[in-house]
Structure 1
Amino acid sequence: MNKSRNKWGWSLLAVLLAFSVVLSACGQGKTQGDASQGEGGQAAGGELAGKKIALIMQLNIGTFSSQYIEGVKEQAEKLGGKVTVFASDNDLAKMASNLDAAINQKFDGILIDHGTAEALEAGVKKAVEKNIPVVAFDADLKVPGVTVLQQNDKKLAELSLEQLAKDIGGKGNIVKIWVAGFAPMERRQVAYEAFRAKYPDIKEVAAFGAATQNTALDTQAQMEAILTKYPNKGDITAVWASWDEFAKGAARAIQQAGRTEIKIYGIDMSDEDLQIIQDPNFSWVASAAVDPKDIGKVQVRYLYHKFKGEQTPDVVELDPSFVTRDALPKDKQISTAELSQYVKGWGGSEQGYTDWLRALEKK
């Protein structure tokens, strides 16, 4: 009798175990179905909503930076994320510390704006090891798994320099405003050296530049000193400014000195820059640039690709547009939001967009 009961008990236990295995398999099948649905963007919203994103910036000055931040925040918020900006005041040690803080505070993802490999590589590797995705902009980083956005700096420099050479007939005296120590600047310098070799009759009579908390104001003071050193019309034919903060300072110095025969050719574009270029009282006449809001938006999109576990390129290059005063309306002031009406290729970049990202935005 006891043997019979034991045999019956073991049989019942076996049936129950088999039933639980079936239920478990059904549950797994449902999870896998949801995941595959997520690949098309249907279930991705739940996994990707509410992401906390750190934006680590080397230098946050001027309207270009403010519009770049605006683009980052706008795109992240559309995707349900929240951005916290860590400003480093051009202090690389502080930038490295900010990166460590973002890792320790367990942000879901990290965006980096400029910086050097020496300052950031250790922190970025630490983030990757902790499965925190990283997307950088204009930082010379080569860490496996990290995507770096960069403007086509060679083309930016070439567009502005070739227009300068064309306008001055391939000869004259120029001032270069440039600063070392930034990856995009180093790439622009390579193009500048090629330009010098190509146009031997264009002479560099002065070169200066420093990235400070008051770059435009400091550049203005330095440009005023250059104008004092070269006081005669014809002493300086043109200025090449490798950054819009440099161009703004130079434009104000030249305008105040009444030397607007000296034309300025720059790089980067913001609403403030556009106002100066449109104003005939200033001599900044052209600039090669990528829409700063687009840069921020594209950077966020690639971060979300990483959130979703997708492979992303090591380097994403952003192609510039070329903005000249002649292409802009004479009867009204416009903003960069309207610039696409007058400049081909400006704004509205679709880089990094996918159907599932658009679906997530709708959620």
Structure 2
Amino acid sequence: MKKWGKSSLFILIAAILLITAACGSKTKEDAKEEATGTEQTASGSSETAALKDKKIALIMQFNTGTFSAQYIEGVKEQVTKFGGKVQVFASDNDLAKMSGNLDAAINQGFDGILIDHGQAAALEAGVKRALEKNIPVVAFDADLKVPGVTVLSQDDQMMASKTLELLGQDAGGKGNIVKIWVAGFAPMERRQVAYKAFLDSNPGIKEIAAFGTANNPALDAQTQMEAILKQYPNKGDITAVWTAWDEFAKGATRAIQQAGRDEIKVYGIDMSDEDLQLIQDPKSPWVASAAVDPKDIGRVQVRYLYQKLHGDKTDDSVVLDAVLVKRDELPKEAINTTQLNEYIKGWSGRTQGYADWMKELEQAK
């Protein structure tokens, strides 16, 4: 057996010490990394936990009809999934009341504010005050251009164009039409742009009457449409009715049905369960509508608000694409808007605004 000399023994001991030191150093580094990872995970969970139990205010210019009802359902559904609570402030189409409701929500210390419709003159001062108090704001179809506020809208010109193009095709490029529309609302004004372009490019189609009001819109549309039908009593006098809002379409549809003028077709914008029933009815003059799932609108709006609460950077403008719903693409048996996605591709299930961390928030107890 070979004997170890002093020098060999010294080298062996040094090597052992070096390996031990290296292993010790690696262990400390690993421990540091593990501690940092644990700290980051804890931080992430803490940030998510801080978003639970938020109080959200929904300030609405009006909450008329089933479209608004389903939009509110979407808002409440998503906020509830995130562990928060919603309070709806209805303003009865009174902009002064809407401004007061916005001030009330700020004074009551809500964590976030959602706005549905409204005009800048009534809302801008209150919105700026909310931002000064670090209360994030996300609006839908509101005439607002305040830095830091995300505004959602439907692609209104596309919606109008889709229904008008179908009207033109069904009418063979000629005929007399009635428009039901009201000024002063951002989405209506955008839809009017497409309507004007349609008339300019279709000289064979003439507008013979136009009316509309936002107060009791369905009832008013029905009453005024009844008067128009008496003014144009003969079949062929009116080819179609184009409506810029589903509430108008309901009123026009009822008037036409009651008058027995089944040769007149109705084209609308926006969609709810009640609207779908009317479109599916083979005896109804309402044959098509361009729309975005109102529940989806509410869900997406809430997601962008929670992004702001989370500290994420959000776009100033978010546009929701619409689909065209036609009677001839629907089943004969009655369905509701929850089932509509089975027949109309792209109707529901939008993931816009959904961030990865939101899954953790929805699963948090």
User: What is the TM-score normalised by the length of structure 1?
Assistant: 0.89
**How many residues are paired up?**
332
Give the aligned partner of residue 159 of structure 1: 162
**How far has the Cα of 1:96 moved from its partner?**
0.2
Q: Describe the shift of the 1:131–1:38 C-alpha distance in structure 2 as closer, same or farther (beyond 3 A).
A: farther
**Given the alignment of the two structures, is residue 303 of structure 1 paired with residue 308 of structure 2, yes or no?**
no
Corresponding residue for 2:255? Answer: 253
**Which 4+ stretches in 1 moved above 6 angstroms?**
29-35
CA drift of 1:45 comes to 2.6
Q: In structure 1, what is the Cα distance between the partners aligned to 2:39 and 2:301?
A: 25
Which sits farther off after the overlay, 353-362 or 260-269?
353-362
Q: Please say if residues 49 and 361 of structure 2, whose CA atoms lie closer than 8 Å, have aligned partners that are also in contact.
A: no
- Residue identity in the other structure for 1:71: G
* Structure 2 match to 1:43: 46
Show the counterpart of 2:321.
Answer: 319
Aligned match for 1:72, one of 71, 75, 82: 75
Other-structure match for 2:23? none
Q: Does 1:104 align with 2:107?
A: yes
Distance 1:256 1:194 in 2: 32
Instruction: Say whether 1:194 aligns with 2:197.
Output: yes
In structure 1, how many angstroms separate the alpha carbons of the residues matched to 2:36 and 2:121?
Answer: 42
Q: Report how far residue 326 of structure 1 moved.
A: 0.2
Partner of 2:149: 146
Q: Give the direction of change, closer, same or farther, for the CA distance of 1:64–1:31 in structure 2 (3 Å limit).
A: farther
CA contact (8 A) 1:51 1:108 kept: yes
Amino acid at match of 1:320: A
Displacement of 1:33 in angstroms is 7.0
Aligned to 1:129: 132
The RMSD of aligned alpha carbons is: 1.7
The CA deviation at 1:44 is 3.0
Question: Structure 2: which amino acid aligns with 1:222?
Answer: Q
Distance of 2:322 and 2:185 partners within structure 1: 19
- Structure 1 residues 48 and 166, CA gap change in structure 2 (3 angstroms): same
Unaligned stretches of 5+ residues in structure 2: 1-32
Equivalence for 1:337: 338
Distance 1:34 1:87 in 2: 46
Shift of 1:46: 1.3
Q: Structure 1, residues 173-228: CA drift from partner, whole Å, max 9, x if none?
A: 0000000010000000011111111101100000000001x211111011000000
What secondary structure, in the 3-state scheme, does the structure 2 residue paired with 1:322 have?
Answer: strand
How many angstroms does 1:35 deviate by?
Answer: 8.0
Code of the aligned partner of 1:357: M
1:221–1:32 CA distance, 2 compared to 1 (3 A) = farther
The answer as to whether partners of 1:34 and 1:43 remain within 8 angstroms in 2 is no
Q: Compared with structure 1, are the counterparts of its residues 35 and 244 closer, same or farther at alpha carbon in structure 2 (3 Å cutoff)?
A: farther
Q: For the structure 1 residues 36 and 311, does the alpha-carbon distance in structure 2 shift closer, same or farther, using more than 3 Å as the test?
A: farther
Per the TM alignment, residue 38 of structure 1 is displaced from its structure 2 partner at its CA by 7.2
Partner of 2:13: none
Query: Are the equivalent residues in 2 in contact too, given 1:56–1:85 (CA < 8 A)?
Result: yes
- The question of 1:58 aligning with 2:41 is answered no
Q: TM-score, normalised by structure 2?
A: 0.89
**Deviation, structure 1 residue 140:** 1.2
Amino acid at match of 1:346: W
- Provide the rounded CA distance (Å) in 1 between the counterparts of 2:132 and 2:247: 37
SS in 2 for 1:190: helix
**Matching of residue 172 in structure 1 with residue 175 in structure 2:** yes
Instruction: Tell me what 1:7 maps to.
Output: none
For 1:48-74, what per-residue CA distance to the aligned partner results, in whole angstroms no more than 9, with x for missing partners? Answer: 000000000001110000000000000
Distance (Å, rounded) in 2 between the aligned partners of 1:132 and 1:31: 34
Change (3 A) 1:260 1:350: same
Q: Could you tell me which amino acid in structure 1 is paired with residue 352 of structure 2?
A: Q
- Mapped contact 1:35–1:43 kept (Cα < 8 A): no
Structure 1 counterpart of 2:241, one-letter code: V
Alignment partners' CA distance in 1, 2:108 and 2:46:
27
Amino acid at match of 1:203: K
Q: Which amino acid aligns with 1:256?
A: Q
Alpha-carbon distance between aligned partners in 2 of 1:145 and 1:338, rounded to the nearest angstrom? 36
The 2-side partners of 1:285 and 1:30 are apart by 63
Please give the alpha-carbon distance, in whole angstroms, between the structure 1 residues aligned to 2:34 and 2:276. 55
Structure-1 residue corresponding to 2:30: none
2:71 is the counterpart of 1:85: no
Q: Give the C-alpha shift of residue 355 in structure 1.
A: 1.5
What code does the residue aligned with 2:230 have? T
Distance 1:254 1:319, change over 3 A: same
Go from structure 1 to structure 2 and tell me whether the alpha carbon gap of 1:103 and 1:35 turns closer, same or farther (over 3 Å shift).
farther
Question: Given the alignment, which residue of 108, 113, 122 partners 1:119?
Answer: 122
Determine if the alignment matches structure 1 residue 183 to structure 2 residue 186: yes
Partner SS for 2:45? coil
Tell me the equivalent position of 1:23. none
Name the SS of the counterpart of 2:96 in structure 1. helix
Aligned 8 A contact 1:174 1:205 in 2: yes
CA shift at 1:299, angstroms? 0.2
Deviation at 1:42? 3.5
Shift in Å at residue 283 of structure 1?
0.4
Supply the distance in 2 between the matched residues of 1:251 and 1:299 (Cα, whole angstroms).
31
Larger Rg: 2
State the distance in 2 between where 1:287 and 1:48 align.
Answer: 38
